Amino acid sequence: MKKFDYYIIKQFLWTFGLAMSLILAIAIVFDFSEKIDNFLEHSAPTKLIIYDYYMNFLIHYGVVFSGLITFVSVIFFTSRLSENNEIIALYNNKISPYRILLPYMLGALIIFIPNIYFQNNFLPSKNEARLDFETKYIKNKDKLREKKIHKQIDKSTFLFINNYDIKNKIGYKIDIQNFIKNRIEYKISGSSMHWEQKMNKWRIKNFKKQIFTNDKKIEIIEKKDKIIDLNVLPLEIFQQTRSIKSMNFKELNSTIALSKKIGNELLPVYQIENNERFSYPFSIFIFTLLGFLISNKKSRGGLGYKLTAGLAICFLYIFIMKFSTTFTINGIIPAYVTIWSPNILCLLISLISFKKLT
């Protein structure tokens, strides 16, 4: 490596660190001013506010927006280099754009490696404390209860529960329906269902089973108490959406496999989260290239014009990402297509522009 490689990497990482610090500091100020009433109203301890919420807040949003902050950083310090004729000096010494881009990619790699680790291992464990704090002191909701549950246990069986106590594993006012070729085969109802740990089965109180035949005759079976096997564990049925952010890579993949098996309606959400954990870190390389292309030459608008263009692209990227995910949630397009499409679009634009530069 030559001196200009170390110089560019140093400028890259220093500007990235400075931009990250400033943006997160501003985010904390706005967030604190918005939530201070919640902290006071629910008597949130200062220690928990600092360590459980804002420390994890910094890690979470720092990791999520690393790609976009990298983009702004590259535009900023490269524009300064071009305005000082340092980039032009490299071109005049017959150094190709490919060679100049090398230290940029090395700098992006230094940011990428910890980012991919944080996304899939470190951050999920920290998210649990932050989400617990939000539930208790900001949203003030009971995280141990879930209402109006509608779950698909397997391809033909559906479970409805009015209220579920997650801690004690008790569901109230339950209804289980089984279908064969769009025709209901039987329906089970009860006042409550409780998980029996020793038997790995469910105990239903005030059990009532209605069996439907082809000629629509109904056979009714009633018991005060009955043990049934649904072939599914409480955690598999009553997975809260909030806990997705708390799963590491292995846990998330296991949950996706299980959701495909039992037909969980949260499957698209799991798949979106799984793809985002890789698409966001990968965008660091794309935005590094795109930022270099925007700012490597002098322009009449100077730094202001380049930063404005960069921010416009950032907002467009976020808009496309959020808009495209709705198609996955609605079951129209697979998650890997909607999540990766903004990256692919930016990459194609960058490669075409870079080819023209060379």
pLDDT for 215: 60
Checking if the pLDDT of 147 tops 90, the result is: no
pLDDT band at 301 (very low <50, low <70, confident <90, very high): low
185 C-beta neighbours (distance < 10 Å), count: 15
Checking if the pLDDT of 213 tops 80, the result is: no
pLDDT for 265: 72
Dihedral (Cα; 254, 256, 260, 262), 10-degree rounding: 70
Residue length, the chain?
358
Q: Each residue of 25-71: pLDDT tens digit? A: 999 999 899 888 888 888 888 888 888 888 888 888 888 888 889 99
Checking if the pLDDT of 242 tops 60, the result is: no
Report how far residue 117's alpha carbon sits from residue 138's, in angstroms, rounded to the nearest whole number.
29
Is residue 295 within 8 Å of 74, Cβ to Cβ? yes
Range from 67-71, 135-139, 157-161 carrying the lowest mean pLDDT: 135-139
Tell me the pTM: 0.75
For residue 130, the SS3 value is helix
Range from 103-107, 237-241, 353-357 carrying the lowest mean pLDDT: 237-241
List the chain domain ranges. Answer: 3-140+265-357, 145-233
Mean pLDDT of 132-152: 70
Checking if the pLDDT of 152 tops 80, the result is: no
pLDDT for 239: 59
**Residue 96: both structure tokens together:** 């190709």
Checking if the pLDDT of 79 tops 70, the result is: yes
pLDDT for 103: 92
Range from 168-177, 201-210, 252-261 carrying the lowest mean pLDDT: 252-261
Mean pLDDT of 299-316: 75
Report how far residue 49's alpha carbon sits from residue 29's, in angstroms, rounded to the nearest whole number.
13
pLDDT for 282: 93
**Residue 137: both structure tokens together:** 């002191």
pLDDT band at 84 (very low <50, low <70, confident <90, very high): confident
Checking if the pLDDT of 167 tops 90, the result is: no
Q: Each residue of 172-189: pLDDT tens digit? A: 888 988 888 778 888 888
pLDDT for 109: 95
Checking if the pLDDT of 286 tops 70, the result is: yes
Buried b (16+ CB within 10 A) or exposed e, 109-143: eebbeebbebbbeebbebbbbbbbbbbbbbeeeeb
Mean pLDDT, the chain, integer? 83
Closest C-alpha to 287, from 69, 15, 7, 3: 69
pLDDT for 285: 93
pLDDT for 106: 94
Angle, vertex CA 40, rays to CA 241 and CA 243, nearest 5: 10
